[in-house]
Structure 1
Amino acid sequence: MGILHLSIELVFDFIAFIMGCVLVAQAKDNYLKFYWGIIAAFIGLFFIWENIGWLMIVTDTPEYRFTSLLSIDKMLKWYALASVVSLFPMASLYPGYFNHLRLLAYLFPPVITITVGICYLSFNGYLTPLYFLDEISTYIYRQDVQLRIAIFLISILLPLVYFVYPLASKRAFRQINRNMYLFIGFMFLFLGIYITFTLNINEFIFNLFGITAVTFVLLFSTLYLFQENPFSNHILIISSTNENTLPVHDETNSAPLPLLASIDAYLKQTGVYTDKEYTIRQLAEALNKKERAVSQAIKSGGFTGFREYINYLRLEHFKQLASTHSDKNIKELMYLCGFTSRTTFYRIFTEKFGVSPTQFIENLSKPL
């Protein structure tokens, strides 16, 4: 792994870090985008630090043959990140589910495990050298080996439970899309790399981990730049047939908060959502509510945040205008609904309804 290789990786690490910062800045009430931005920036910063370090001291791949297996510090780094990333499917399918108490409850086991691992390294510090798999069973009676095995198993099983459970549940507010399956594929790839890297350290796995991590970050950061929630679709936009009533979850899901009905009625009566500069702060002030309460009510309807909900209303408004104003073209109707970017409008319309705006209008003009 020479200087050129490391320099190229370093460029992509900086891009990942910058994209993460951009996502944090534009997230607003979309906590999924906010936390993904933090993760992306952290991973980018971590690899920047690693690669700059290698550029300063070596030009060849480091030697791993004499690095002990079941390294506590490597396992804790993985577990800290995996315990957060594994919550993304749940957060994506259940907008507004996580509050401070629930997040603390889910992160309590990793916090305890990581604390125990750090305390052992700080106050005891002795680690039995393990260079081959059979040495694990040989020294299984030693306290540090037992602790390392326990951390290893917990760091695999608990994130896996967090990750798989919401995918198997039928009570989700939203519908899994192909990006979620891509995300799942990356997570299982990371899990395989982590297991291999912890039990059999080698040059190939080291490079594979770095390349996969940066690719993972850049891919999903790009999706987040253009989508509010790239991992799932709003069920009501897909299945709702009555455009004039407030969408309601089916009987398997929790009902939206009562405030959502007031929000929906106010916006549809006033039509203020067609203002391209309209914000959640203006909505909260008009209803004499706190922004957090308004955001929580919107998320209880299965929306990731304010912008996704506003775009939902604008798309429905476009469909109404298209059926009653056949004299106007798509660009005029788009601006009347509050959209300013033709690219964005076409993209989200096609994603939500499966046809482009042009095809939709053509279908309206066809005789029944």
Structure 2
Amino acid sequence: MKNYVAYVGSYSYTGKAKGITIFDVDVERGSFKKRAEVEVDNASDIVVSSDRRMLYAVEDYGVVAFRILPDGGLVRVSSKKVNGMRPHHICVDQEGKYLYTSGYHDGKLTILRLDPDGAVGPIVDEVYHKGLGSIAERGSRAHITCSKPTRDMRFVMSADPGIDQVSIYRFTGRPGEIRLVDAIRTARGSSPYFFTFSKDNRFLYLLFDMTNAIDVYRYTVSEDRGMPEFTKLQTVCTTGDNAPGSLNAATCMTFTAHDHYIFVGNAGDNSVTLFSRDAETGLLTAEFNLPISGEYPKDVAVFPDGQHIVSVNHESGTLSFFKVDYEKKLIVMNTNEIPVSQPNCCVIVPVGEDA
């Protein structure tokens, strides 16, 4: 059996957490055991490279790169400022060429080049979103919460709940050549918050936090103009059959390894919803909506066996663990929760010679 470790990113400004907590993972039991902490100033998000050699984390005013050791330990390699405020979200492309950061506070997309050894290089391009939105508590201005390339690497997309839009850019990799080519314009007050593509790159799943919804789109590229085309196929409620109350907000969306299922966390009612996914049509079907035994599930991570999940509960400062029964459509808490101060995110990574 492979060995796995989990990395949990936390805010550190209260002094109760250092930034990243490393856990040993018991896949069979579906549990974590704390090993160590690594200092990062306010790790609002973390991501692991596709070859699992590097871990990248947000820190105040920039990003930091760590090399993942064979035992799962972390060694700081480099850090870079992003010429702006602390990013909200971070993403690395499948080829390990670029790092993409999303600025919630300043509405800034920043793309940094990665060196061959995985260290963070210089800024290649940066774009500030402009415009006015409709959500008063967000200042009615641009706030980028998620930026990623399409899986074919032809475009870069940025979700902005402040202006109710997903901007689509053509990115060549040459400095200063990023160009806005289109946008998915969503309803006023819908707040597009996070998105991901299916592994076959055919479907886009766009999560709206204020309206508790997922929109499913078919993604193609026109042969004559080489432009992205998104066809809306479906809208589903993230709180299942329950009415999306005004105090609820969808917080996260996580696929299982083979895209068969999607878990969505909801703050307010503090629940998790499971959707099954049709691989051919891309459409989603709600299977259950159940309480997550914590406050503000900011992330949900799926264990490598696909049979367990961990909920990262930001407000209650806990990690709660569940076994998933897909046939009976329920989750059962399978071990004691673990306290972690203001956790934001979690990734589970194989380590060692078999990784």
TM-score of the superposed pair, with normalisation by structure 1: 0.23
Greater helix fraction, Structure 1 or Structure 2: 1
Larger Rg: 1
Greater strand fraction, Structure 1 or Structure 2: 2
Tell which has more relative contact order, 1 or 2 (C-alpha 8 A, sep 6+).
Answer: 1
